[in-house]
Amino acid sequence: MALRIIFMGTPEFSVATLEALAAAGHEIVAVYTQPPRPGGRRGLDLQKSPVHLSAERLGLPVLHPLNFRAEEDRDRFRAFGADVAVVVAYGLLLPEAILTGTRLGAFNGHASLLPRWRGAAPIQRAIMAGDAETGMMVMKMDKGLDTGPVALTRKVAIGPDMTAGELHDRLSAVGAEAMVEAMAALEAGTLATVPQSDEGVVYAAKIDKSETRIDFSRDGAEVHNHIRSLSPFPGAWFELAVNGKPERVKVLGSTPAEGEGAPGAVLDRSLTIACGQGAVRLTRLQRAGGKQLDAADFLRGTPVSPGTVLS
């Protein structure tokens, strides 16, 4: 028999799991997602979340309460009579009434090797720290922040130049497969969980705007990790004088390089930039309001001479 599942998720990352569970034959009795938010070019149109749009394509009922403080929202959740709740990047800390509001509890797909990188930005933080691997974990949820016992783990290597966007897509696909496998075991009564270790706990704080400016005084490897951890969004950036005015330029790709000089100094015509130690070569850039360009195309439209200092 298929499980009766309430799915809870919001961004594009969650869509693969929702669609995989539906394709596996489970009965998705309801989809919970964050409410439509202002968006569009002028921020005036209400934009439905990627999960909302996917649920509509699948013909599934969608609910988007602001929170679960109202008793009527909690009652409605329980009234679905679901076997289990599956949560992937929902964007809300769930109260105990929801965690216990199904027959078998709630299971979360989390993009890290817990207990490392609990919290909001595990993909970006793993790359920023220079981790060589991460993964997806299926965890039974409890009242803590990503503290519940782990049911299933899938490891994923982080390539030396892999960006957050590339790792996001890989983990999304791996997470969907893992959750389908976990739900099959749960249905069969064979899903076992193991408590997380009390050692190695690291929190993945949400990325703050103040962190996005590139600090070329850091080690070249750290600068490279910083750039790729924020690519494609929100994007690491520096300021460049264009027609006498400072302009932000996003860097969406880089690679470690050799060279030395004052931090931020342009060392050659291939956009090799000196760092506090070593250097980094910028490979993909974007001016404000412009298209993403490879370094050679960027330089054709925006010449940057050796000796220029980026800040």
- Known binder of ligand: residue 122? no
Q: Please name every residue paired with 122 in a beta bridge, in sequence order, or none if there are none.
A: none
Q: Which helix (H) or strand (E) holds 57?
A: helix 50-58
C-alpha separations of 296 from 195, 243, 266 in Å: 51, 20, 14
240 marked among binding-site residues: no
Tell me the C-alpha distance between 8 and 91, whole Å: 9
**Alpha helix locations (H) across 164-306?**
164-188, 220-229, 295-301
Helices 12-23 and 50-58: angle between axes, nearest 10 degrees: 20
* Closest C-alpha to 89, from 111, 60, 116: 111
Is 172 within any annotated ligand binding site? no
Residue 9 CA: distances (Å) to CA of 40, 52, 89, 192, 230 = 21, 9, 5, 24, 22
Q: 109 by DSSP, 3-state: which?
A: strand
Instruction: Look up residue 114 and give its two tokens.
Output: 């817990």
The reply to whether 197 sits in an annotated binding site is no
Across 7-24, b (16+ Cβ under 10 Å) vs e yields bbbbbbbbbbbbbbbbeb
8 Å CB contact between 113 and 135: yes
Question: In one letter, which amino acid is 310?
Answer: L
Binding site as annotated, residues:
112-115
Binding site as annotated, residues for (6S)-5,6,7,8-tetrahydrofolate:
112-115
